[in-house]
Amino acid sequence: MSDLSSLPIATTADLDQLRKKIRGWQRDGQRVGFVPTMGALHEGHLSLIKLAQERGSRVVASIFVNPAQFAPHEDFDAYPRTLRDDAAKLANADCDMLYAPLASDLYPDGFATELKLGGAAQGLETDFRPHFFAGVAIVVAKLFNRVQPDLAVFGEKDYQQLLVIKQMVRDLDLPISIIPGPTLRERDGLALSSRNAYLSTKEREIAAGLHEILTGFARDLANGTDWETAQGKALAKAASAFDRVDYIEARCAATLAPLPAGPVDRPARVLAAVWLGKTRLIDNLAVG
């Protein structure tokens, strides 16, 4: 890890320092907003910082590439680590503090607690990355406990993650408001993601098709087509554009429960995960 004191934003890996600073702000009556990230920051993350600034007076961001949410065959080692650039972006965005804990501190020898998730964690990502939400939930629970923010912002780009975190906060009575941040997109519709950096030029061109397919799927549902027909159409398009389709589905927007057969009769969300070469893209849209 780089020398944290040389970064252009107040940065700490130390829990006592973090707590001292945050408790000081809270004692002065300031609300603290928190934006947890894995780094490789882009405009999407910075829009979450901005949202936190609009809702709270101080903002803490964290950068931690969380090993618990990657399976052994996934891209933990390859995940971009750009701490110095990220710190500069956070400083430019007037973020107040960066927390960059070490894995050995968050998961010391003997760490053995797991969270078992139901509800919004069922299906979709879990069918393909069964380890994922347990890994996300444990690290977010630990970060929440360390930072103890008044509010935290999560991007709608990871819609299922957002609902899993909301559910965890509700179920565990954590006194933290969860604020959803709208997805930021490139001009051609591709949702901003740190993993877009993996795409070749050719793959990058194809990637924008995911947004188009989801837009068509959502439009069909809004026009009253039954979800089974609309899903079949979207699936056929995705299968011809992408190397592999993990899922493309319509779910209840509030809970991610499967929809009853036929036309959609409640607020719904379409969600997809597809592959281009070694890159997995996820995206989602509201229906209507």
Shortest approach of ligand PAF to residue 68 CB, angstroms?
8
* Span of 7-15, 31-39, 178-186, 263-271 interacting with ligand PAF by CB under 6 A: 31-39
Q: Taking contact as CB under 6 A, which single stretch among the options 33-41, 85-93, 118-126, 239-247 is the one that binds ligand PAF?
A: 33-41
What kind and span of H or E run contains 169? helix 159-171
211 flagged as catalytic: no
Q: Which of 9, 21, 36, 272 binds ligand PAF (CB under 6 A)?
A: 36
Minimum CB distance to ligand PAF, residue 216 (Å): 27
133 touches 125 (CB < 8 A):
yes
Alpha carbons within 13 A on the beta-carbon side of 217? 29
Q: How far is CA 61 from CA 19, 38, 151, 235, in A?
A: 14, 10, 12, 37
Site for ligand PAF, residues 61 to 80, rule: CB under 6 A? 66, 69
Using CB under 6 A as the binding rule, whether residue 231 contacts ligand PAF is answered as no
In whole angstroms, the minimum distance from the beta carbon of 143 to ligand PAF comes to 8
Backbone conformation region of residue 43, classed left if phi is above 0, alpha if psi is from -120 to 50, else beta:
alpha
Indicate the residue among 35 and 250 with the shorter CB distance to ligand PAF: 35
Task: Answer whether 151's CB lies under 8 Å from 34's CB.
Answer: yes
Would you say 211 and 191 are in contact if contact means Cβ atoms under 8 Å apart?
Answer: yes
**Among positions 38, 90, 124, 238, the unique one binding ligand PAF when judged by CB under 6 A:** 38
Catalytic residue among 45, 73, 131, 211: 45
- Closest by CA position to 260, among listed 284, 228, 212, 233: 228
Please report, as residue ranges, which positions from 140 to 169 form the binding site for ligand PAF (by CB under 6 A). Answer: 140, 158, 161
Q: Which of 12, 37, 53, 284 binds ligand PAF (CB under 6 A)?
A: 37
Q: How far, CA to CA in Å, does 189 sit from each of 159, 192, 201, 214, 270?
A: 17, 9, 16, 10, 15
Stretch that binds ligand PAF, among 23-31, 77-85, 96-104, 133-141 (CB under 6 A): 133-141
Question: Measured from the CB of residue 157, what is the shortest distance to ligand PAF in angstroms?
Answer: 8
Tell me which stretch binds ligand PAF (CB under 6 A): 36-44, 92-100, 230-238, 266-274: 36-44
Angstrom distance (rounded) from CA 262 to CA 268: 13
C-alpha separations of 233 from 196, 198, 250 in Å: 26, 28, 12
Q: Figure out which of the listed residues 136, 163, 184, 270 binds ligand PAF, where binding follows CB under 6 A.
A: 136
Q: Kindly report the backbone phi and psi dihedral angles of residue 275, in degrees, each rounded to the nearest multiple of 5, phi listed first.
A: -120, 140
Q: How far apart are CA 107 and CA 38, in angstroms?
A: 16
Helix (H, G, I), strand (E, B) or coil at 138: helix
Stretch near ligand PAF under the rule CB under 6 A, chosen from 32-40, 46-54, 173-181, 205-213: 32-40
In the complex with ligand PAF, which residue's Cβ is closer, 96 or 156? 156
* Residues near ligand PAF (CB under 6 A): 36-38, 66, 69, 136, 139-140, 158, 161
Which residue numbers are catalytic?
Answer: 45
